[in-house]
């Protein structure tokens, strides 16, 4: 059976996801209109089969992750999603069934994030499946939460739990380590799901805008991403690793293989929020997060030692050979 051409493909699978700004995906571009007094926040992420996901992952999961990681960036900036554009490079052998499931997953994440499709491009490639999403959000003028606002004396907080994504990659991957069998079925499912389906903390955006001095999402690992925030702010930090929140499944895995603690702290794919807030704003920040249904854990304090992060474990300093995932 013949497959649809580019324009039929767009009309069949992607036009139903588009919002009004997408103009029915019949034009060369979409049209976003920020409200008066608001500014646009723009973020982009590319995902490549074999690097960011397994080629045989469920297509709906691939689509959800591609959009979710962009929404996570918007959330960390305190932004409200307005729309996204998708570039999809399909390898030889793609099927309509695969594309239908991909579009279904993309539509579900777009609806959950209130972030409609506004345009993009669909091409073929001789290489692996590759997709790139650029997402747009808006914040009141001058209110975007930067990485560069942390000040000495601020508290360091993280949302949710840390390490599930990196451990979930091991659980989900084809070559499963011995410690995986020590987990319950529920524990394995939890970790794999956290890797496959990031949860952008959009409900935290307003609280960050109101109470955070700096923030970013944790995509490449807590240790490495903290270093980026500290460098942008020109400050240091002291972190108590014993207070970093872990899920029950992650704790079980680390008990079975203690060396996994370093992977939990330095591995990627958490998509939680790392933030700083002043002592005065801390109670309001925690209360707002609780009202949004998101847990926050205090894990350290910002210091004046520019670029220096000290990590303490059971009162002793710990040094990491590699701080985070790196492409290059």
The annotation places the binding site for substrate at 52, 269, 325
Strands 272-277 and 214-218: antiparallel
Residue numbers in the known binding site are: 28, 43, 45, 52, 73, 120-121, 147, 217, 219-220, 269, 325
b/e per residue 45-57 (b: at least 16 CB within 10 A): bebbbeebbbeeb
Residue numbers in the known binding site for Mg(2+) are: 28, 43, 45, 73, 121, 217, 220
Angle at 321 between CA 318 and CA 326, to 5 degrees: 130
Residue numbers in the known binding site for ATP are: 120-121, 147, 219
To 10 degrees, what angle do helices 59-76 and 185-196 make? 70
Taking the alpha carbons of 254, 260, 264, 268 in that order, is the dihedral positive or negative? Answer: negative
Contacts of 256 (CB under 8 A, 6+ apart): 179, 182, 183
């Amino acid at each position: 059976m013949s497959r649809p051409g580019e324009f039929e493909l767009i009309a069949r699978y992607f036009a139903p996801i588009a919002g009004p700004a997408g103009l029915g995906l019949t034009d060369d571009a979409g049209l976003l209109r920020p409200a008066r007094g608001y500014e646009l926040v723009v973020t982009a992420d590319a995902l490549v089969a074999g690097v960011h996901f397994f080629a045989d992952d469920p297509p709906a999961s691939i689509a959800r992750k591609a959009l979710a990681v962009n929404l996570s960036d918007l959330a960390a900036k305190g932004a409200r999603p307005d729309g996204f554009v998708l570039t999809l490079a399909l390898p030889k052998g793609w099927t309509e069934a695969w594309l239908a499931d991909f579009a279904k997953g993309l539509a579900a994440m777009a609806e959950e994030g209130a972030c409609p499709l506004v345009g993009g491009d669909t091409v073929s490639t001789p290489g692996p499946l590759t997709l790139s999403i650029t997402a747009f959000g808006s914040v009141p003028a001058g209110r975007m939460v930067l990485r560069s606002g942390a000040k000495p004396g601020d508290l360091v907080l993280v949302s949710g739990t840390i390490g599930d994504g990196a451990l979930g990659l091991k659980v989900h991957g084809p070559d499963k380590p011995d410690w995986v069998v020590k987990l319950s079925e529920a524990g394995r499912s939890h970790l794999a799901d956290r890797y496959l389906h990031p949860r952008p903390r959009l409900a935290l955006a307003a609280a960050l805008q109101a109470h955070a001095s700096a923030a970013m999402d944790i995509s490449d690992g807590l240790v490495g991403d903290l270093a980026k925030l500290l460098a942008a702010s020109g400050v240091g930090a002291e972190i108590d690793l014993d207070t970093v929140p872990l899920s029950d499944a992650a704790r079980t895995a680390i008990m079975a293989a203690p060396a996994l603690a370093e992977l939990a702290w330095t591995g990627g794919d958490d998509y939680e929020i790392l933030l700083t807030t002043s002592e005065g704003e801390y109670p309001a920040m925690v209360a707002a997060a609780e009202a949004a249904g998101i847990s926050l854990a205090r894990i350290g304090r910002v210091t004046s030692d520019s670029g220096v992060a000290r990590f303490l474990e059971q009162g002793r300093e710990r040094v990491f050979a590699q701080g985070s995932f790196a492409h290059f």
